[in-house]
Amino acid sequence: MTLRSVVRGVGAYLPEKIVTNAELAKTVDTTDEWIVERSGIKKRHIAADGQKTSDLAIAAVTKALAHAGMDGKDIDLFVVATATPDQTFPATAARVQAALGRPGVPSFDIQAVCSGFVYALAVADNFIKAGQAKTAVVVGAEIFSRILDWTDRTTCVLFGDGAGAVVLAAEEGKGETSDRGVLSTHLHSDGRHHDMLYVDGGPSTTQTTGHVRMKGKEVFRHAVVNLADAVTEALAANKVSISDIDWLVPHQANKRILDSTAHKLGLDPAKVIVTVDQHANTSAASIPLALAAGVDDGRIKSGDLVILEAMGGGFTWGSALVRM
């Protein structure tokens, strides 16, 4: 018997305010045509004044718990993936735990930027497999709009705000790929590429929050290679082939990266969940947002084999194979 972390519920939250490319073009030297052609993005959601990353996270977790038919008091572990926490410390996860959990259970943040959700899922899965938690909430939540340089058109048009969450619960499996739950996770990083995608501030450097800086072309090139490799690694580890995959739920950075990765893998593009057009790059939130979209509209069903993949600053990248 093998302990598996089964996805019991998914939930998403996007702030009310929507900014279209055309609206953005009134204040930024850009056009709807350029943004759509180069990234596939049509609009992004922007958090309201006073709204915090924990507020977005709590809204997504509330929906995921309702979907699971569970209560926050049933949860043993809260993990929040975010690069835009409410404060430098304490962890945003502690706020989520205080709002929804029972006092005393562990809560902490994971910092792996756009790969944060895959990293957080791996950590929670390992807690469950080690018997340290029977249930866990894993959240990706970001307010990237607060760390964008709105005068830098090469970055500010690409990101948005949002949150997504999953509820995991331990179940006995047979140790086979027919088991429900997280079948494997694969994490990587290469800090030599620190300067390709970073924020130019922080507590121990500038004592400011800083703004996103990116060498877009280089990141793009690395992304396609690393993402396809991470998926291939997950397939090999589980002895399944790309044709066994029901859905690819990728980090939503750029529609062209999604298309190129699917092409490299020989995956039917119809099996890729695409939401980047709707909410731009929401960093750690983008995978659970896409997962929730696929589950909500009935495309992703119980028993489906789903591969998650992401790549972000660090560089960090990784994948997770999950049977829903």
Query: Of the residues 67, 114, 222, 226, which is catalytic?
Result: 114
Q: In the complex with ligand UT7, which residue's Cβ is closer, 35 or 77?
A: 35
- Most distant CA atoms of the chain, gap in Å: 59
Pick the closer one to ligand UT7 by CB: 14 or 128: 14
Q: How far is the CB of 179 from ligand UT7 (least distance, A)?
A: 31
Catalytic residue among 21, 226, 254, 281: 281
Specify whether 226 is catalytic: no
Of 67, 222, 251, 279, the catalytic one is 251
- Tell me how far, at minimum, the Cβ of 26 lies from ligand UT7, in Å: 13
Of 75 and 139, nearer to ligand UT7 (C-beta) is 139
Q: How many C-beta atoms surround the C-beta of residue 16 within 10 A?
A: 9
The CA distances from residue 107 to 44, 76, 210, in Å, are 29, 9, 26
> Angle at CA 173, nearest 5°, toward 170 and 174?
165
Closer to ligand UT7 by Cβ: residue 15 or 312: 312
Amino acid at site 5 = S
Q: How far apart are CA 188 and CA 13, in angstroms?
A: 28
Give residues in contact with ligand UT7 (CB under 6 A). 30, 34, 38-39, 114, 153-154, 157-158, 216-217, 219-220, 223, 253-254, 257, 281, 311-312
Closest contact distance (angstroms) between CB of 287 and ligand UT7 is 11
Tokens coding 119: 């990293």
- Is 156 known to be catalytic? no
Neighbouring residues of 175: CB distance < 8 A, sequence distance ≥ 6: 1, 2
> Among all residues, whose Cβ is closest to ligand UT7?
216
Residue reference for tokens 């709707």: 278
CA-CA distance, 292 to 3, in Å (whole number)? 24
Q: Whole-number minimum distance, CB 216 to ligand UT7, in Å?
A: 3
Neighbours of 26 (CB within 10 A): 8
Residues belonging to the active site: 114, 251, 281
